[in-house]
Amino acid sequence: MNNKLNEIANVVFPDIHLTIKDLERKYPKRNLSEDAIVTRFAPSPTGFLHTGSLFTSLVSYRFAKQTDGVFFLRLEDTDQKREIKGSGDKVVEQLETFGIVPDESYLDEFTAYGPLVQSQRKDIYHTVIKAMIASGDAYPCFCTHEELAETRKYQEENKLLPGYYGEFATCKHLDEKEVLKRLNNDEDYVVRFKSNGKADKRVSFKDAIRGVIEFPENILDIVIMKSDKLPTYHFAHVVDDHFMRTTHITRGEEWMSSAPIHLEMFDRLNWQRPIYAHYPVIMKLDDGKRRKLSKRKDEEASVDFFLEKGYPIEGFIDYLMTLANSNFEEWRIQNPGANVYDFELSFNKMSLDGALFDIEKIKSISKDRLSLMDATTFTDKALEYAKQYEPKLQELIEIDRQYFESIINIGRDQKKPRKDHEKYSDVFDFVSFMYDKYFYEMIQALPFNDSFERSLIKDILDEYIKDTGLSLEQNEWFNNLKDKAVSRNFAARPKDFKKNPGDYIGHVGDYAEIIRVAACGKPDTPNFYDILKILGEERVIERIKYTKNLL
C-alpha cells in the first residue's frame, strides 16, 4: 500500500469511512433465478419523455418481466445545469400511462438497492473513488479549462485523437507530494480514471443484440468526478449498475462506442462485466435521408404529442413492438385480439440499424386497435382522454353514456369491425351530429350535393317523412328506400348509373345521401339504418322537417 496515495485519498475524501467491501455487503447479489434479467431505465431529468426513450424503456421492461427479473428506474441527475425540475416525475407518470411500472423507482420511499437518484449516491461514488485513488487507479487532475482548451486545439491542428491521454495527461505523472500540496492549497480539481489501455490493442465483448463487437482499447483518462464532486455518466454507470446488480445494460446505440471505457473500469475494479444490449436508435426519413428523431425538430419525438392527439396506448405499444422485433407483425396478424405481452421479445430479433419511425404505420395500427375494442372499453378510454384534453367530448359522453356507447357500437360487433377512428381526438367530429346541439348548427350549411334541385330535395324529404320505414328490419327498410328512389328515376344500383348516366338523375346512393344530410347534417356517417334507429323515428322526422324549412 502506497502511503502517499492513501494520504491523497484521505485529503480528497476526509469524511468517507466506508469501503468497497462494505458496499458489496450492503448490496448483495439479487436472489433471482439464473436467467432473470435485471435491467433499468435511467433517464436524465432534462425534459419530456422522448419517443426513443419510451421505446427503450418498454423493451427493457418487457425483458425483465418476461424472465421474472427486475426493472428499475434510476434518475441520472448529475448534470445539474441541464436539469429541468419536475421532468423526472413527469417521465414516471408518462411511463405509467403506457403501463410501464418499475419494480423499483427513485420515487419509492425505500429500495434495497437505492437510493436510485444519483445526486443522493455521493457517498457510494466517493467510497469507490477513494479506493481507486488509494490503489493508483484514479488521480486528481488540476488542469484548467484554458489548459485543456489549448491541448484540444493542438490535437485538432495536428489531427490527433482528442482527449486526455499519453503526453497530454500531464497530471497523471504529477509527483505525489506536489498533488498533496496543490490539494492543501485548495486548488480546483477533478478526478480522472487512470487508463492502462493501449492504442494498438483491441477489446471485445458480446452484445446481446449485435453479437461480438470489437473496439480499440480505451486510452483516455476520463473524468470520473467533476469539480462539483458529482460523478460523470461513465463512472456512475459502472458503479450503479454494479451495486444495483444489473445483469443487462439495455441502452441506446449511441453509447456503444463508450463501452471500452466502461469495460476497462469493470475490469480494473474486478467486477463482473454486465451484458450489454445496445438498442437501435429511432430514425426518421427527412428529404430521403435517414436521421435521428430529434427533440428539437420533430413533434413526434415527444410522447406527449401522441397522448395529446389521443392515439390509443395499445396502438402505440404495438407499434413500438414492431420496431423492436421483426417477427412481431406476423404474430399480431395471427393473434389480433391477444394481449401484446403474450408475445415473447428476443434480443436476436432486434434490428441492427436504426428503426425507421413511420407515422402512417402508427395510424393504421391505431385504427386496428381501436376497431377491436368493445364499445364499453372504447368509451372508458375515450372518456379518460376527454377528461384530460377535450372537455366538449367529455360532456357528450357524460350526458348519456349509453347513448354514446350505442353510437360507438355501430359496425363494431361484427367479424370485420369498422375502422372509423385513428385516435380519440377524431371521436368528437365523428359523433357530434348525433347530438341536437351540434346537428342544428351543422345543418345550417345545407351540405347537399349541388347537382340536385332544391325542389326535388324537398319532395324527397317530404316523401320520406311520411314513411320512414324505420319499423322494418334493415333489408326491408333499404328496399323500401330503393323503391322510392327508383320511382324518381334514380338507378337502383350505382353500377347501372355508371353504365348509362344519361338515363338517370343519379343512383340510390345519391338518393340516400339527400336523406342522410337532412337527418345528420353531413353526407358521411356510419351505417345509416343504425344511425336512424338510434336517433329514433320522432327525432329523425323532426330533424328532416327542420332541414326542409331551411331549403
Choose, by CB under 6 A, the member of 8, 9, 38, 43 that binds ligand GLU: 43
Which residue carries 423493451 as its cell? 59
Residue nearest to ligand GLU (CB): 251
Q: Of residues 246-265, which lie at the interface with ligand GLU (CB under 6 A)?
A: 251, 255
| Among candidate residues 352, 269, 290, 388, the one with its CA nearest the CA of residue 19 | 269
Q: Which residues make beta-bridge pairs with 231? A: 225
CA 128/CA 140 separation, integer angstroms: 14
Nearer to ligand GLU by Cβ, of 50 and 284: the residue is 50
Asked if 80 contacts 119 with a C-beta cutoff of 8 angstroms, the reply is yes
For residue 218, give the C-alpha cell.
480505451
Please identify, among the stretches 41-49, 283-291, 317-325, 434-442, the one whose residues bind ligand GLU according to the rule CB under 6 A.
41-49
CA 4/CA 7 separation, integer angstroms: 5
User: In the complex, what is the shortest distance from the CB of residue 84 to ligand GLU, in angstroms, rounded to a whole number?
Assistant: 13
CA 544/CA 521 separation, integer angstroms: 10
Nearer to ligand GLU by Cβ, of 263 and 373: the residue is 263
Nearer to ligand GLU by Cβ, of 224 and 365: the residue is 224
**Residue 42 binds ligand GLU (CB under 6 A):** yes
Site string for ligand GLU, 71-100 (x = CB under 6 A): -----x------------------------
User: In the complex, what is the shortest distance from the CB of residue 358 to ligand GLU, in angstroms, rounded to a whole number?
Assistant: 24
| Among candidate residues 498, 497, 540, the one with its CA nearest the CA of residue 515 | 540
**Residue 44 binds ligand GLU (CB under 6 A):** yes
Residues ≥6 apart with Cβ < 8 Å to 458: 548, 551
CA 33/CA 263 separation, integer angstroms: 25
Asked if 522 contacts 442 with a C-beta cutoff of 8 angstroms, the reply is yes
Angle at CA of residue 495, ends 490 and 501, nearest 5°: 55
Site string for ligand GLU, 309-338 (x = CB under 6 A): ------------------------------
User: In the complex, what is the shortest distance from the CB of residue 233 to ligand GLU, in angstroms, rounded to a whole number?
Assistant: 6
Nearer to ligand GLU by Cβ, of 274 and 310: the residue is 274
Asked if 273 contacts 237 with a C-beta cutoff of 8 angstroms, the reply is no
Nearer to ligand GLU by Cβ, of 245 and 251: the residue is 251
* Alpha-carbon dihedral sign for residues 345, 347, 351, 354: positive
Nearer to ligand GLU by Cβ, of 239 and 370: the residue is 239
Nearer to ligand GLU by Cβ, of 295 and 522: the residue is 295
User: In the complex, what is the shortest distance from the CB of residue 323 to ligand GLU, in angstroms, rounded to a whole number?
Assistant: 18
User: In the complex, what is the shortest distance from the CB of residue 542 to ligand GLU, in angstroms, rounded to a whole number?
Assistant: 60
Exposed e or buried b for every residue in 279-316, given b needs 16+ CB within 10 A? bbbbbbeeeeeeebbeeeebeebbbeebbbbbbbbbbb
Choose, by CB under 6 A, the member of 62, 237, 367, 369 that binds ligand GLU: 237
User: In the complex, what is the shortest distance from the CB of residue 246 to ligand GLU, in angstroms, rounded to a whole number?
Assistant: 9
CA 298/CA 302 separation, integer angstroms: 8
**Residue 240 binds ligand GLU (CB under 6 A):** no
Q: Is 278 helix (H, G, I), strand (E, B) or coil?
A: strand
Angle at CA of residue 129, ends 128 and 135, nearest 5°: 95
Nearer to ligand GLU by Cβ, of 251 and 421: the residue is 251
**Residue 231 binds ligand GLU (CB under 6 A):** no
Please identify, among the stretches 38-46, 201-209, 217-225, 330-338, the one whose residues bind ligand GLU according to the rule CB under 6 A.
38-46
Instruction: Write the burial class of residue 128 (CB in 10 Å: 0-12 exposed, 13-18 middle, 19+ buried).
Output: buried
Residues ≥6 apart with Cβ < 8 Å to 435: 396, 399
User: In the complex, what is the shortest distance from the CB of residue 205 to ligand GLU, in angstroms, rounded to a whole number?
Assistant: 15
Nearer to ligand GLU by Cβ, of 88 and 469: the residue is 88
Please identify, among the stretches 36-44, 94-102, 121-129, 416-424, the one whose residues bind ligand GLU according to the rule CB under 6 A.
36-44
User: In the complex, what is the shortest distance from the CB of residue 33 to ligand GLU, in angstroms, rounded to a whole number?
Assistant: 24
Which residue carries 463508450 as its cell? 258
Nearer to ligand GLU by Cβ, of 44 and 366: the residue is 44
Asked if 30 contacts 247 with a C-beta cutoff of 8 angstroms, the reply is no
Instruction: Tell me the number of residues near ligand GLU by CB under 6 A.
Output: 7
Nearer to ligand GLU by Cβ, of 250 and 432: the residue is 250
User: In the complex, what is the shortest distance from the CB of residue 137 to ligand GLU, in angstroms, rounded to a whole number?
Assistant: 22
User: In the complex, what is the shortest distance from the CB of residue 57 to ligand GLU, in angstroms, rounded to a whole number?
Assistant: 10
In single-letter form, the type of residue at position 278 comes to H
Radius of gyration of the chain (CA): 33
User: In the complex, what is the shortest distance from the CB of residue 16 to ligand GLU, in angstroms, rounded to a whole number?
Assistant: 25
Please identify, among the stretches 37-45, 166-174, 258-266, 452-460, the one whose residues bind ligand GLU according to the rule CB under 6 A.
37-45
For residue 369, give the C-alpha cell.
386497435
| Among candidate residues 332, 418, 341, 406, the one with its CA nearest the CA of residue 372 | 418
Which residue carries 377512428 as its cell? 421
Nearer to ligand GLU by Cβ, of 148 and 281: the residue is 281
Tell me which residues touch ligand GLU (CB under 6 A): 42-44, 76, 237, 251, 255
